Amino acid sequence: MFETALAHNGLIAILRGLGPDEAEAVGQALYAAGMRIIEVPFNSPEPLRSIETLRRTLPGDCLVGAGTVLRAEQVQNLKDAGGQLVVMPHCDETVIRVAVAAGLFCTPGVATPSEAFAALAAGASALKVFPAEQVGPGALKAWLTVLPTGTALLPVGGITPEGMAPYLAAGAVGFGLGSALYRPGMSPAEVGRRAQTFIQARRSTAG
């Protein structure tokens, strides 16, 4: 399912700061715009309630998960809330293995080739290249010459619609979208418009 959702347009909505009371409306706006992977970071207000709401109100082809997963015990909490995807800012092999054992998809954060290989060996579904500004398209391209064929690299951090092209040319398959897509207090309509802008830019670049 992760591969199918990612192939839709390669974009992951990161809803840092989302509150449970706005989760359904924001989630519906993102889905209508074309987003098929949504994560609520654990350092948001009551993230598990928001994840429960998103999973209950969004169609089954939309993958819902948590970001900023730092500890193995958080994995079971996420699964109990209906979450399907673990996204991490770091490469903790224990967390990756616990997520995989729980039947969840896992995208750990990596910033070096060593971390990338370790994450894949632990069972990562894809790799979150974080922070993208630190790694850059040139390094990402170099990584792909040595990583296993088909490795999905997803730059995260400072991504804008205008800034995607160099990473895509280097071999990235998608992106995690943060504050350029959503910030607390933003209306669902505005979030939906921003999502459409990203999706249009992604498709235009791919074409």
User: Which residue out of 39, 46, 93, 190 is catalytically annotated?
Assistant: 39
Beta strand 109-110 with 85-87 is unpaired
- In angstroms, the CA 33 to CA 129 distance is 25
- 128 among known catalytic residues: yes
CA 32 to chain centre: 18
Of 205, 186, 184, residue with least CA distance to 47: 184
**Is the bond into 184 cis (omega within 30 degrees of 0)?**
no
Please give the distance of CA 49 from its chain centroid, rounded to a whole number: 19
In the residue annotation, 115 being an active-site residue is answered as: no
Q: Which of 3, 52, 128, 162 is catalytic?
A: 128
Alpha-carbon gap, residue 107 to 207, rounded angstroms: 26
How many residues would you count in the chain? 207
Residue 205, SS3 per DSSP: helix
- What residues are labeled active site? 39, 128
